[in-house]
Structure 1
């Protein structure tokens, strides 16, 4: 259900600004097309149909992130953090993806698996301080009603990073091996910084829009590539 929704997700807000590669498709020649040209035409026609279908869908309701988090400018078009905030002298950044994109299921659950995909998010939380070479990194699982910590580690900040350091970085003990008091303290630590299940509605909607933009861009880019290839063959 989720994957189907992404394929036909909301585009009215964003679709108007996208360039239509389909206008560059050359009209068929009167001569019989070669097998390769015929395949190109089939691909272009299919991409165009999917592109148009996706454009017709309504966008999801707009959801604002819980205060004081703000959306990172340009995050929908990049691979960086989605949210940021300050907490005292600290800078808090949050990146998100679906757990299903990291640990794919076996696909035997049908639509129920698709529904579960929308309720399981992977959260990367970074806490950095001015002048510090490392930041505190939390890998978390986020659900509509809970947030669970998977690991806690110190990571080299981008300004100080090196391939050697990344390769030799120790990621800390298995979180579940820590005693209950320490685990509870870490949970309180992230909650004090506003990281909890309250972020789930916004981050799920944000991922939905981002996936749709990526899908539309894929239709566009592949269409342009095939179209240019097809025009080159016609000369």
Structure 2
């Protein structure tokens, strides 16, 4: 249930369906205030109900990342790397986001089973870092692209670069592709990261959804109070 609510955004869809299915509140001239108050009350009630429902959901079991990766403090609340580690003089930073669910795939109740993994490899004294965009699955890691990009602040890491990013990975010859896969595996970037990153995304989605219900409710409530 927790996976369905968070992974498939069922709560958000149900909320808006429930709102749109309500009959329009009628009223004559001068009744605008009553209409607004009724709509606001309906929204606040729905937000509260869904907030309480989601807050009772049981999160997945706690999973620790493979050693020597360490969780970056504040990663659940901020746009910073999820995991970091050192490899010799290199610093490896990992960012993760979900792949969009396949449209119409209603049979998949496994939640987040495909991830986008951004791997940033930086070296001291180097202005650029080596950046990999990968697809991470329970049993495999696939490289989509490799690029050199300027070292960026954590909050800018997922911005799309306007610089040339190199050839498509599939255009490289097989020997080079295998070598790059070996490059990542040597640094511990492989499918062993999937269980932790999957659980981490569940928790992040759960927190984001609760925060969304709360902040929208606060906004609507303040608007009502000042109206």
Same fold (TM over 0.5): yes
Q: Aligned residue for 2:127?
A: 133
Counterpart contact for 1:8–1:57, Cα < 8 Å: no
Question: Deviation at 1:8?
Answer: 8.6
Larger relative contact order (Cα-Cα within 8 Å, sequence gap ≥ 6): 1
Q: What is the deviation of 1:141?
A: 0.4
> What residue number does 1:44 align with?
44
* Aligned equivalents of 1:200, 1:226: Cα separation in 2: 39
Deviations 1:136-169 (A, max 9, x none): 000000000000001110011126x9xxxx43x1
Cα deviation code 1:201-220 (max 9, x no counterpart): 00000000000000000011
Check the 8 A contact 2:130/2:146 in 1, yes or no. yes
Return the offset for 1:54: 1.1
Are 2:118 and 2:132, in contact at CA under 8 Å, matched by a contact in 1? yes
SS class of match (2:76): helix
Match of 2:102 in 1: 105
- Distance (Å, rounded) in 1 between the aligned partners of 2:46 and 2:169: 48
Distance (whole Å) between structure 2 residues aligned to residue 111 and residue 227 of structure 1: 38
The alignment's TM-score, normalised by the length of structure 2, stands at 0.82
RMSD: 2.1
- Structure 1: 5+ residue stretches without partners: 10-31
CA gap of 1:3–1:59, structure 2 versus 1, over 3 A, is closer
Distance 1:109 1:210 in 2: 23
Assess if the C-alpha contact under 8 Å between 2:131 and 2:148 holds in 1. yes
Higher helix share: 1
Q: TM-score, normalised by structure 1?
A: 0.80
1:69 has 2:63 as partner: no
Deviation readout 1:57-80 (Å, 9 max, x if unpaired): 222211000000011110000122
Where do 4+ consecutive residues of structure 1 move more than 6 Å?
none
Matched residue of 1:77: which SS? coil
Q: Which moved more, 1:150-159 or 1:188-197?
A: 150-159
Corresponding residue for residue 195 of structure 1: 189
Match of 1:150 among 121, 144, 149: 144
